[in-house]
Structure 1
Amino acid sequence: MPRAAIEHPLFEQLIAFRTTYPRHTISRNGLQWKYHISGKGKPALLLLPGGLGSGEAFFAHFMELAGRYTVIAPYYGRAEHMDELADGIIAIMEHEGIDTFHVLGQSFGGLVAQALLSKAPHRIDRIILSHTTTASPDPTAASSLKRIVRIRNLMRVIKMVPRSMLITVSRNKIQKHFRSMPPEETPFWQWYFGELIQNQSKQELLAIYRCMLNLDSNPVPPVSPAFDQSNMLIIDSHADASFSEEERNAVRTQFPEADFLRFKHAGHLSIITERKPYMKEIRKFLIS
């Protein structure tokens, strides 16, 4: 572990998070659902992570928001369909006695958020789709066809290569997301995301990709027209290395009345690289 990561204030915050907010587990439809929760009695906020599938991934944001909200951060486990993910997360909320809640979905989590909105719009107060695309893709669109080929190729590679090689390649690949980060922040987040990559099993990673592939054959049904799109915020950036401009625009086309925020100089992970202004905008939107 790099000394610069250990000496960073976020390292102590990570240890405090793990001590204060241990993982909970419930079972639903033969799958285990793990999650962190910050307590009860406040407005609820669901934090949906990206493709690493870890509820711990945005621990700093969790702790920052826990003073005002009951924050819930789930893990995706081995669910292979968006419907399964939505059902599992709703089961968590029901288990905790939470009827309505806000949602922040980052990257893949934005797709999960759309599945929740489609399945249970009456339970969602305000929703933020951050650096994501539509969960109701046109399977004949060029972007969909490219994505299908890309994901199938990735899945083939994941199955073939040794796990140690997969971890090394994934760690190197994720570096591009930290280019806009202040230099003093980089060592910690590079180390930490390396840990998340190492902790995600091949089966869990393949399940994420199967969820995305299954969207093309079983897209998320359209959201009820009764949902007020002014309760939605879409966040993106010009330099997103995970989703093309066409893919990012697809979610704005789907929700034309939603509020929109673009970080001009950020990449895919503005939630981390631009954390202070990002969180300021999140708090402002949730209480507006």
Structure 2
Amino acid sequence: MTSIRERAAVFLQEHDSKRLVVGQHDWHYYTGGGGDPVLLLSGGAGIGIGWIDLAHALVPRFRTLAPDYPSSVGSCAELVDGLVALLDAEGIDLVHVVGQSAGGMFAELLSRRAPDRVRSLILSSTGLYGPEDVERLRMRVETTLATPWSETQEAIRTALRGTWKDSDDAEFWIEQVVSTSDAAGSAGAANSYRLLLELAEGVDELMRGPAWDGPTLIFRADDDPLITTSHTERLRELHPNCDFRTFAEGGHSLLLSRTADYIDVVHEFLTAS
């Protein structure tokens, strides 16, 4: 396989880099390919370039849309409204949605906000946070705001090295995350935790539904250190007819640890949907 930097260069050649102002927020996103559109929602780091391997595999048969999450967004409603605005700007009426980690949670919210715009849901290494996560996330917000940014950067690096310890490309991705978050600093990092805190605090209302009932695939690794079985079971309860798959191992970031398997599973489901 080519190096991560070579693959990133190919991604940038295949995709257009665009910007859209939605309210007070400046959205940056990548688009490429043709055919049926696929919205790619990354985890909490919110970097669209994180999808380079999947997007390359989907282009040109599919048209991919991979946004960065603006660090200024402080509520889930603003985030989802921004995603709908991106679809509008690109003239996309109906879209497959792939969400990884926190992106899967945002995909769930998008399917509630605009159910008629969703063609299928693919949710990987994700679930729904709940009451057991509220205090931890609240402390993350408070600690992030009270800590010098340089110390927070090192904490982010340490956490990501633990999450991506088996990936040869870990250091590249760590620097992508840190450099992207530099502009907004502590305030932007705190906002990313606020979104997750809002989800955890509002999970009871979310569970009352009704949930989107179209084609849904949920998959995870059984050794995921960040998303618990309970988190994933909440999603499965909302989508009882989903296609559910478990990898015997792979950790939290399956697209990095089991790239070929991830691409195969997603491509198969998209093609069938």
Q: TM-score, normalised by structure 2?
A: 0.90
Written as runs of structure 1 = structure 2, the 5 A alignment for 1:1-288 is 9-39=3-33, 41-77=34-70, 78-134=72-128, 144-179=130-165, 181=166, 185-186=167-168, 188-200=169-181, 201-219=185-203, 221=206, 224=210, 227-229=212-214, 231-288=215-272
CA change 1:283–1:8 in 2 (3 A) is closer
Identity %: 25
User: In 2, distance between residues paired with 1:160 and 1:154?
Assistant: 10
Aligned-partner residue type, residue 85 of structure 2? A
User: In 2, distance between residues paired with 1:75 and 1:45?
Assistant: 15
Q: TM-score, normalised by structure 1?
A: 0.85
Are the aligned partners of 2:53 and 2:259 in contact in 1 as well (CA < 8 Å)? no
Q: Alignment RMSD, CA only?
A: 2.1
User: In 1, distance between residues paired with 2:201 and 2:133?
Assistant: 13
Further displaced range: 165-174 or 100-109: 165-174
Further displaced range: 55-64 or 7-16: 7-16
- 1:39-90 superposed Cα distances (whole Å, 9 cap, x missing partner): 4x41000000000011111222222212211100011112122221111011
Further displaced range: 268-277 or 20-29: 20-29
Are the aligned partners of 2:40 and 2:98 in contact in 1 as well (CA < 8 Å)? yes
Give how far 1:22 is off. 4.3
Aligned-partner residue type, residue 18 of structure 1? L
Are the aligned partners of 1:10 and 1:60 in contact in 2 as well (CA < 8 Å)? no
User: In 1, distance between residues paired with 2:84 and 2:140?
Assistant: 30
User: In 1, distance between residues paired with 2:179 and 2:147?
Assistant: 15
- 1:156-178 superposed Cα distances (whole Å, 9 cap, x missing partner): 22112222221112111112223
